[in-house]
Amino acid sequence: MISDTENTTIIGSGPAGLTAGIYLARAGLRPVIIAGNLPGGQLVNSDMIENYPGFDVINGADLMAKMLSQAEACDVRIVYDAAINVSKADDLFITDLVSGDKIISRSVVVATGARHRLLGVPGEAEFTNKGVSWCATCDGPMYRGKLVAVIGGGNTAAMEASFLANFASTVYLIHRRGSLRADKVMQDRLFFKHNIKYMWDSEVAEIIGSNRVEAIKVTNNITGAEALYDVNGIFIAIGTTPSSDCVGSLVSLDSGGYIKSDNTKTTCAGIFVAGDVASGSLKQAIYAAGQGALASKYVEEYLDGL
């Protein structure tokens, strides 16, 4: 057992979780944040953020480091562990951690975000961290002068391809549709990069190599034709899956597994949700932070009513 009964357990340390923690700490409720092994959520992998108020441009890891520092200065308690299950006994919530510890609290804020979606093709698991990556910011510099492929058509894929174009000799951008879904400003930047090659209406069928990635087999969705392309690395950016498993038995989920809520209030009294794990989230850092602040308000109201 980590502690006696707490006011609030916040699961997740991205923009939503840290903002909720800061607001609740300032209200004198001294919350506990379960931060995982590496705080900051997926935003730490973002190379360049241009739409967060107060910063013209800021690196995602730098932004999250500032948020974490502010939370610690507000006396938020940070636990570097991961939640595996939340259960309820009477009016209390028991959060089981990977370490075997438990945290008992009167309320819970779920800000667990979402995890990367997999391609589900042969070679993906075998070559993970051996040429298969989900983070261009982390691994991009390893591919200076080499051939890489980015899979996806949204903003994340566009950002990954743009970043990798600064290092790689050629970036293949492979999308299953005939046009990108990325914002126009992101697309405009891509089209100025001379070393990005587009494969429309195409999908990766197999990742091939010996000790590391050496090639990919690509299928054209219209013609059915298959072709092999030599690549040294493949970056997957096809979306995310919500990390709602730890509370899935207590709250209602939508068809995609995201947590349903009304102004951050879930269907289980005392459990609140904020950030990318919430149904309908815009999956933007500022939106997640705003939801964290809103969740803190309703946590206060809930605790006052106990």
Active-site annotation, residues: 135, 138-139
Contacts of residues 43-52 at CB distance under 8 Å and 24 or more positions apart, as own/partner, are 43/14, 43/15, 43/285, 45/134, 45/135, 45/137, 45/138, 46/137, 46/159, 47/136, 47/137, 47/159, 47/163, 48/159, 48/163, 49/285, 51/284, 51/286, 52/285, 52/286
Cα distances from 221 to residues 31, 104, 122, 166, 218, in angstroms, run 50, 51, 18, 29, 9
Contact 169, 252 (CB under 8 A): no
